[in-house]
């Protein structure tokens, strides 16, 4: 599946409308916690399963969303973090589908 519309909802969610009509609202906190970049993955691995990150407002605010090929999104966070590519398949596994 591919997104047909992507937006920010209530400054708290990434809202994705998929090509099958399903709507998903992913909490920005979950999206940032699941950042797929090498730096974030290494930090989570180093801290272990008990690590609970605490984010600032800048770390949870998105300034730009770019599509990457036909498979993912690159998100630019207000704090400058921008190296993660969120693959569509991984986004679909996150919570937040509307009933």
Delineate the domains of the chain, giving CATH numbers in brackets.
Answer: 3-92 (3.30.2020.30)
pLDDT of residue 61: 96
pLDDT of residue 12: 95
User: What is the end-to-end Cα distance of the chain in Å, rounded?
Assistant: 18
CB–CB of 29/60 below 8 Å?
yes
Of residues 49 and 83, which shows the higher confidence score? Answer: 83
pLDDT of residue 99: 61
pLDDT of residue 51: 78
pLDDT of residue 77: 96
Residue-wise pLDDT for 14-71, tens only, equals 999 999 999 999 999 999 999 999 998 888 888 877 778 889 999 999 999 999 999 9
pLDDT of residue 38: 94
pLDDT of residue 37: 94
In angstroms, the CA 29 to CA 55 distance is: 8
């Amino acid at each position: 599946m591919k997104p047909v519309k992507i937006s920010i909802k209530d400054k708290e969610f990434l809202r994705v409308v998929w090509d099958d009509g399903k709507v998903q609202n992913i909490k920005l906190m979950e999206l940032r916690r699941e950042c797929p970049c090498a730096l974030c993955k290494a930090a989570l691995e180093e801290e272990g399963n008990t690590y609970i990150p605490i984010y600032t407002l800048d770390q949870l605010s998105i300034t730009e969303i770019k599509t990457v090929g036909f498979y993912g999104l690159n998100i630019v966070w207000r704090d400058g973090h921008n190296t993660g590519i969120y693959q569509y398949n991984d986004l679909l596994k996150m919570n937040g589908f509307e009933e």
